[in-house]
Structure 1
Amino acid sequence: MYRVVGPSGPACEISFEYSENPNPSFVDKPVTFTVSPDDASEDTVRGALKACMTGRTGKYQCGGPLFEQLTYGAPAYASLEYGGDGPLPCGTPVEVDGEPLYPMPKDGQWGYVNRDGDWKIPPQWNRAGDFHEGRAIVGGRNAWGIIDRDGEAIVAPEHASDVDGRPPFTTYSEGCTVANIFTDTSQPAFFLDRDGKAYWRDQRPEGLAKLDIAEFGSFSEGLAWFQIGSVVDEQHGWIDASGEIAIAPDFANSGDFNGGLAPASLEDHDQFGFISPDGRLQLPRKWTLDGAQPFSEGLAQVSTGAFEIAFMDSNDFAFHDVTLSDEDTGPPVRAEIEAAGAFHDGLAPVDVEYDDTREFGYMNQHGEMVFVPDRLDGITVCDARLRPEFHNGLVRLVVADNGESCGDEAYLDGAPAYEAAHYVYLDTLGHVALRQAK
């Protein structure tokens, strides 16, 4: 919880403290920081808090018992084998043999099954993520780790998550994951290879050592974005696996490269576009977009104005709305895109609205709705707000046990069990491929 303490010179002082936390030593110990009253948005407050909790005090005048404990206090929860300070073993996609494995809960714990529903890794974790490049993030709360396809720990499940409560590791991409481990001492972002060895944890390459890097992105097409500074005055650029700056930090936003293009925005205004690996704007011809997401399977979600979403290909706009059949009358209708996810296996999740009707479904790369889960027999989706994306040919959804009502539970945290709902996997035609046994 937090409270506004009052003015501190021209700034506003805010105090935050945990009422509960997996680490009891954090509870009831305030951390204080200051923000400008002219920019006291939720993002600014969260950014200031994260800066204090990870030792990047910046201009926030961090203080208080919890800040001192985090900065000068106890040792980290867990150690990692150190790989080195030099070039990263990242930047090249990793091909993995073997059948796809899918997270599935049983008796309150997560394990992994194959497409036939046979157990390949027994249930044993509170949370479990999808496999990427033969590695998956498992654990929960302050005990996250990384496993291989045999269920063996590559990184022991003993690492605390960050302030936001998410896993401290990103999904693997091109041989590495980014680690943002939250411990009793400051832990800057660093990289882990597929063997769980840490790189750049203690020291970064010469070209990066003097930069106040707050975040790294995953490697994609040989490059990874990085962020300098706080939420308010952040700067973004890209590095290669050797640690050399490939694109100077002259941008206010950044994203992953895909198909030779990455989303970015300029520092002096909020307009977005897509750049090439040389840092030059390629699409559109001017910085005219209000927002942009990375490309996936040849398409990228963009914002063209307030509440206006479209998809672009590498040349121009592909579509601004979605075609679907009206459930009552049958004829196709054009529906506005309210929100959407990325394309995988040829489909992307999308929220649409038409004639005061809102629906969640999966569209193809032509802007055509392929199926709406809630229209399927016996299916009522409980976690549509998360807009789950396809992976390895299937998408995992939480659906109502009785096919009609989800009850009053929250379905946003990936819990292994719910009172009134269970998990199913649908294929790209909307058929149930796997179902959780209850």
Structure 2
Amino acid sequence: MVSSVIKNIWLRLIALGMVLLVFSVAVSAQQLYPMRKYDKWGYIDESGRWVIKPQYQMAMDFHDGLAMVKDTYQGGEVWDFINEKGQKVIQSEYFGFGAFIKLYDYKVSVKPHDHFSEGLIPVTIQILDPTYKGAGISGFLNKEGQLEIYGYYDKVYNFSDGLARVEKNGKSGYINRDGDYAIPPIFRGGGTFANGLAPVLDEATGKWGYVDKKGQFVIQPQFSKAREFANGVAAVWKDFKWGYIMPDGSMAVPLQFRSADSFSNGFAFVTTESDAFFIDRHGNKVFDNDLYDKLCHTRSFTNGAALMSVSPENRACNSYRLAEEVILEDTNLLMYLNTDGKIIYRQELEEYYTINKIRRP
């Protein structure tokens, strides 16, 4: 019965094909960035011009020409996919709370922070039949709306460098585009592949190291924490300090930081005991010092720009956490910085007072 249920999932999901055909369009050369105006989100371009007017409760980054936005529908909150013209690709009636695509007796769950990578997006298949007692099913949808890969996984992650991490029974492994295990689930944790290497948490030592696509350690387990390679280096934590290593395991930037994000577009955000700033690949602080005076937190650079939260008029930050998601809920002033260190857009001070209901001094 279980095998027939899985086979039927593919047939049911064919119905998505007509809806998701727009996924196959080429990605525009224009870069769009989510930005808030007062309490609504829209999208600006590289010059700071509004391309999609502010109208959403929340907006995510574009990937492969599509972005997820939170909207209102019949008195509730729903997530939709829009294209770069602001048109809804998948109508609201396909979604419920948590971004579900409902198909007959199944729900295909897509999380707001998931996105297409190498032509696939990770999904969770939820069987609505209350009599079904089988294991959880997860997989990947392609841009034609077909369930290309599926299996009894607890969780699946984006494809990168031709492999995707999957979790099963509390262990991490990696599958290829055929859905076959390239590396069986034997690690306590893991990250995505880049430069032919992936960080994994070794069961025996309790330390992080890096394996190749055969699951063999290239950089032996020795780190308390480790991130994926990006821009040719990887952030690692050892002896209570963060630094960056090369693919051969040598240090690119010495261990010295309190926290360190992965590099993106040539820059990474780091903190020390008393400071927070972006660095280049050599570990040098970049951009004007005045930029950091009122900085509360920032996202990594994406498509050539970084979304930042700043505190106006020496007021205390509403949040000091450095996380990709936190900034979307922030009520400080938001701005975008490009890779030249120039501010391409900054919210007006009046928006801060309106959002926080603060009387102007």
Tell me what 1:279 maps to: 215
Whether the 8 Å contact between 2:277 and 2:292 is mirrored in structure 1 is no
- Equivalent residue letter for 2:244: F
Q: Give the deviation of 1:114 after TM superposition.
A: 0.8
- The Cα of 1:308 is off from its aligned counterpart by 2.1
From 263, 280, 302, the counterpart of 1:364: 280
Larger mean Cα displacement after TM superposition, 150-159 or 214-223: 150-159
Match of 1:123 in 2: 54
1:173 equivalent to 2:84? Answer: no
Corresponding residue number in structure 2 for 1:301: 235
Q: 1:190, CA displacement in angstroms?
A: 3.2
1:8-29 CA-to-partner distances (Å, cap 9, x unmatched) read xxxxxxxxxxxxxxxxxxxxxx
Q: Single out whichever of 178-187 and 289-298 deviates more from structure 2.
A: 178-187
Contact 1:160/1:182 (8 A) holds in 2? no
- Of residues 399, 405, 411 in structure 1, which corresponds to 2:315? 405
2:183 corresponds to 1:247: yes
Which residue in the other structure is 2:157 paired with?
217
Query: Is 1:259 paired with 2:195?
Result: yes
SS at match of 2:34: strand
Aligned partners of 2:276 and 2:292 also within 8 Å: no
Following superposition, the deviation at residue 388 of structure 1 comes to 1.3
- Quote how far apart the aligned CAs of 1:188 are: 4.3
Q: Tell me how far 1:250 sits from its aligned partner.
A: 1.6
Take 1:264 and 1:216, find their aligned partners in 2: how far apart are those partners?
15
1:111-190 equivalences under 5 Å are 111-139=42-70, 143-157=78-92, 158-161=95-98, 167-180=111-124, 188-190=137-139
Summarize the Cα distance change of 1:392–1:97 in structure 2 as closer, same or farther, 3 Å threshold.
same
SS at match of 2:272: strand
Identity %: 27
Q: Are the structure 2 counterparts of residues 319 and 155 from structure 1 closer, same or farther at C-alpha, using a change threshold of 3 Å?
A: same
Is 1:422 equivalent to 2:333 in the alignment? yes
Structure 1 156/183 Cα, relative in aligned 2: closer, same or farther at 3 Å? farther
2:307 equivalent among 388, 393, 396 = 396
Counterpart-to-counterpart distance in 2, 1:397 and 1:365: 21
> Partners of 2:270 and 2:276 in 1: how far apart?
6
Counterpart among 194, 217, 228 of residue 168 in structure 2: 228
Deviation at 1:276, TM superposition (A): 1.0
Tell me, in whole angstroms, the C-alpha distance in 2 between the residues paired with 1:129 and 1:168: 7
Q: Give, in angstroms, the shift of residue 361 of structure 1.
A: 0.6
Q: Secondary structure in 2 aligned to 1:391?
A: coil
State the Cα distance separating 1:257 from its structure 2 match.
Answer: 0.7
Cα distance in 2 between the residues matched to 1:189 and 1:342: 27
Q: 1:337 matched to which residue of 2?
A: 257
Q: Which has the higher strand share?
A: 2
Q: Which residue of 2 aligns with 1:268?
A: 204
Task: Call closer, same or farther: CA 1:295–1:101 in 2, change over 3 Å.
Answer: same
Distance 2:330 2:222 in 1: 45
Q: What are the within-5 Å matches in structure 2 for residues 29-44 of structure 1?
A: none
Distance 1:347 1:398, change over 3 A: same
Deviation at 1:377, TM superposition (A): 6.0
Q: Alpha carbons of 1:120 and 1:168: their partners in 2 closer, same or farther (altered >3 Å)?
A: closer
Deviations 1:354-395 (A, max 9, x none): xxxx111100001111136xx31695122x2xx410012211
SS at match of 1:398: strand
Can you give the 5+ residue segments of structure 1 that lack an aligned partner in the other structure?
Answer: 1-79, 85-93, 322-335
Provide the C-alpha distance between the structure 1 equivalents of 2:275 and 2:320, rounded to a whole number of angstroms: 19
How far has the Cα of 1:248 moved from its partner? 1.2
Give CA-to-partner distance per residue, 1:264-304, whole Å, 9 cap, x none: 12223312211111111112xx3222221110000101122
Contact 1:350 1:362 in 2 (8 A): yes
Structure 2 residue matching 1:320: 3-state secondary structure: strand
Taking a change above 3 Å as real, the CA distance of residues 343 and 368 of structure 1, as seen in their structure-2 partners, is: same
Look up the equivalent residue of 1:369 and give its one-letter code: K
So what's the TM-score if we normalise by structure 2? 0.75
- Asked whether the equivalents of residues 307 and 337 of structure 2 are also in contact (C-alpha less than 8 Å), the reply is yes
**CA distance change for structure 1 residues 278 and 170 in 2, over 3 Å: closer, same or farther?**
same
Q: TM-score, normalised by structure 1?
A: 0.62
Q: Which residue of 2 aligns with 1:319?
A: 253
Contact (CA 8 Å) 1:340, 1:348: kept in 2 or not? yes
Task: Say which SS state the counterpart of residue 371 (structure 1) adopts.
Answer: coil
**1:378, 1:217 → 2: CA distance?**
34
Query: Structure 2 CA distance, aligned partners of 1:263 and 1:167?
Result: 23
Distance 2:78 2:230 in 1: 31
Aligned letter for 2:115? T
CA distance in 1, matches of 2:292, 2:187: 48
